Chain A
Amino acid sequence: MKIAIVGLGKMGLLHASILSTLPGVELVGLCDKSTLIRRFCREMFRGAKLCARLEELCSLDLGAVYVTTPIPSHFFITKAVYLKGIAQNVFVEKTLSSSYYESKQLCDLVERHGGTNMVGYMKRFGVTFAKARNLLNQETIGDITSFEAYAYSSDFQGVKRNPDVSANRGGVLKDLGAHTIDLALWYFGHLELVKDGVESIGDTGFKDDVQFRVRTLNGAEGRFDVSWSKNGYHMPEFGLLIRGTEGYIKVNDDEVNLQLNNGEHSAWYRHDLDDNVGFLLGSPEYYREDEHFIKAVLGSRCGWPDFDTASKVDSLIQELQVRVGLDE
């Protein structure tokens, strides 16, 4: 299958590398508006077409396109991929777009065009988060009563910066928060923002920290704490503490802990959960995610999570932004 990547930043290079190791995949096109990046990539991707304009990918008979540009451009690029007939199968790095309004339009577009579509919520492919989801499905901790979710990094801790940089990353909610919101939606289904649920927004002028509360359909209350200026998190970390009537589950990127009210305790690390992959670059999650997408395209199946599922994250983030006038 022939594939092109649009956007050669760090995520574009990561997907390009992993895809190059997958059987049956041929990387034939790379599109980036930066002349400098295209110049240096020429030597790395010998044999692939490097171009500045999306239209130049039309002639490549592509099986799929990866959109890995900064978030604000996802909508226009993805829309163009469908409308110009560049490819029928599309993978977009998270978040799907800048707003729920745009994401909804993309969902309508895929309904008309068909094909496999997927958004890069790679935490779903993490073995610890999948294990926690299995425990929840088995109702190991009974009915869910509450949860706390966090997404922390030290990326911008103590950093003087240009606001454009944070804007390009979509702001802290889309850059970091989106992963835990997606996990919570996967675990609990629909989430509703609680009235007066926004507890605080960082006052640095860059909106570095956001805390807010939600409620699940079953009435369990959840609290999110998102920050990209937290001390001690040189690797971004995501986690949830989920309380139920029979005990609690604590899960993050590295481990899952199950504590039952009857005193039983179990813990699983990545080591216990068959974390090896065909080719490791970054985290094993990226390989599984790309492998899943390629298999879905080849088998004409749905991607997971698809545009529709991913748009629910955008919906919650947009509601938050509207509620507090948080224009990221």
Chain B
Amino acid sequence: MNEQGQFTLLVGDNPFHGISHLSQERSRARGQAIYDVESAAGLVATSLDNGADGFMFSVSETTLAILARLGERVGSKRPRLFAIVPYAYEYVRLATQVGMQGLARKFAKQIVFSGDVKSLLTGLKGVFYADLAALLEAYVRFEVSRIRSASRKKMILDSVFLHEVLTEMALALKLKWLFRSYVKFMIKSGITPGFETRNFAYLVRRFKEWDIDFADVLIATPLNRVGFQMNPSRSECEKALAEIPTPDVIAVSTMAAGYLTLPEAISYIQTLPNLRGLVAGVSKEQHARETFRLLREFLK
């Protein structure tokens, strides 16, 4: 729900990166047109015109360019932004090309040349004291400044989610202090801290154990009728969803990456408690219009 108590509808960016969790082969076969920033910004704008409240995206050069282009088309609407950091696919690829230390060097250079003094100082503190929380803070500061610069005050940065790879690693290693320091830092910055996870039941169990207040955070997690990426099982995730005290969950992969139809996704989502909203990806103008019209009609 948004501030008015309504269900939040978001347009997602997976199609703009050519990602399909159903079939990469089909995603490639769909062609390259969607990689074009102009078309992507057009699709987001059409979605916003037809009922979407905001845009959920991984922070990359592509999505920042889409934001910049979108800023020229939104008028006085001020759509809400839900960012995911880091853009893990790009960082994993870089780690493959230059190794973990090379990746760290490259990232440090980016921060230095960005001229973002606060990020630089926090980052230096992180390196000097080997303080991972400070490094994460420096990194998120850097990404937030990139988003704000691209969106030029024409959009509202609502939430920044930690990408599932970071969330899952921190969960697995039981890094309670990292979660707590991230939540504290983000709240201080006036942005809702978010966590993307494919281990929702596990995350809920840990957050309860660690006394992390669900009202302070947003959680993005797959929720769909076939249990796709709902680990360890659909029933465990549904149980965990029912147990959280406040509606803080954004449903992703509701169509199980294209395996289900939109009406199937909607009828399942309608049965779930504690949802704040959902994300849907669109790849064509007509698709964007129909998708958000239907979502608005049945979920708002």
Contacts and interface: CB of A to CB of B under 8 A. Distances in A.
Nearest to A12: B100
A280 B168 contact: yes
5 contacts: A40-B132, A155-B97, A234-B18, A255-B23, A276-B230
Interface in A229-282: 232-235, 237, 252-255, 269-271, 275-282
How extensive is the interface on chain B, given as a class?
A: 35 or more
Nearest to B95: A10
Given A165-B98, A234-B89, A276-B231, A254 B24 contact: yes
Interface stretch (B1-9, B37-45, B170-178, B264-272): B170-178
Given A155-B96, A279-B231, A45 B259 contact: no
Contacts of B89: 234-235
Interface in B60-107: 89, 92-93, 95-101, 104
Contacts of A161: 97-98
B101 A36 contact: yes
Top 7 A-B pairs, shortest CB-CB distance: A17-B172, A39-B130, A281-B168, A280-B198, A280-B231, A254-B23, A17-B169
A283 B64 CA distance: 28
Nearest to B232: A278
Nearest to A19: B172
B174 A20 contact: yes
B46 interface: no
Interface string A45-83: 100000000000000000000000000000000000000
B166 to A, nearest CB: 10
B58 interface: no
A293 to B, nearest CB: 17
Interface stretch (B49-57, B221-229, B244-252): B221-229
A44 B172 CA distance: 11
Nearest to A237: B24
Interface string B1-38: 00000000000000001110111110010000000000
A271 B259 contact: yes
Given A36-B101, A254-B23, A271-B228, 10 more contacts: A10-B100, A13-B169, A17-B172, A37-B101, A161-B97, A161-B98, A233-B24, A237-B25, A271-B259, A281-B172
A265 to B, nearest CB: 16
Contacts of B100: 8-10, 37
Interface of A: 8-10, 13, 16-18, 20-21, 34, 36-37, 39-40, 42-45, 154-156, 159, 161, 165, 168-169, 232-235, 237, 252-255, 269-271, 275-282
B212 interface: no
Contacts of A17: 168-169, 172-173
Given A276-B231, A279-B232, A40 B130 contact: yes
B220 to A, nearest CB: 14
A44 B202 contact: no
Contact of A278 (B95, B96, B226, B231): B231
Contacts of B226: 271
B165 interface: yes
Contacts of B199: 279-280
Instruction: Give the interface centre of A36, A154, A155, A235 by most chain B CB atoms within 10 Å.
Output: A235
A235 B24 contact: yes
Nearest to B197: A280
